[in-house]
Amino acid sequence: MSDVLDYTLDGGVAVLTLDDGKANAISPTVIAELHAALDRAAGEAHAVLLVGRPGRFSAGFDLSIMTRSTEDMRSLVTSGGELLLRLFTFPMPVVAAVTGHALAAGALLLLASDVRIAADVPAKVGLNEVAIGMGLPEFAMELARYRMPPSQFDTALLGRVFSPADAVGTGYVDRVVPADELLAAATAEAHELSHLSSSAVAQTKAAARGALVDRVLPNITANMATITGPTS
């Protein structure tokens, strides 16, 4: 699709590979291209596989925008939240191949995906917004609440980051595999899930998660009006 996001169709699996050659920051361009990729997948695939670049799944929202102005930060995070909530209820299985660091919005991509498989590499996974001086938006807290054991929720919200292995117990990751086995394991998982009934998957995800999205999404702009950026 572009130099940042590559889309390939592997049988029934839409493989979305994010690689900007750097930190895989989430920018307005990346958000727009992920929406376009999901639109395309909806018409030709039965599962989605998200893949990062070696060592970096995503370091989160583009800091050059996040620190430029409060208005720019709020606009970026709002559009990112809308994408994440779409992914959370996307009507087919979504598998994430966690290639490395997954911080802030990168960690939220994991919380919004259905199956998360991480490489056993030195990496940091977590919601580090509070640690860099930014309050968490409501959509981020609700995705975390949906995924995390109650005993881990408050610790995670206070900015603690985890290794991939430790992230399993927190709800960010389902399992960890050797780095050289990650792509094969995630691809196999996505292909297996692609054989599920599309209507059954869509109905079940909507029933399980639709009420959360219906509650959070209409208030996202108002909630973001209360959030200040990491430089405040």
Candidates 129, 138, 142, 189; catalytic one: 129
Assess whether 129 carries a catalytic annotation: yes
The domain 5-194 is classified under which CATH number: 3.40.50.720, 3.40.50.300, 3.90.226.10, 3.30.70.1250? 3.90.226.10
Asked if 110 and 98 touch (Cβ cutoff 8 Å), the reply is yes
Query: Which one-letter DSSP state was computed for residue 135?
Result: P
Express each pLDDT in 68-86 by its tens digit: 999 999 999 999 999 999 9
Check if the beta carbon of residue 67 is closer than 8 Å to that of residue 229: yes
Q: Quick one: how many helices (H) and strands (E) in the chain?
A: 10, 11
Enumerate the domain spans of the chain. Answer: 5-194
Tens of pLDDT, residues 122-167: 999 999 999 999 999 999 999 999 999 999 999 999 999 999 999 9
Task: Give me 166's structure tokens.
Answer: 């430790």
Quote the pTM value. 0.97
SS3 for 158?
A: coil
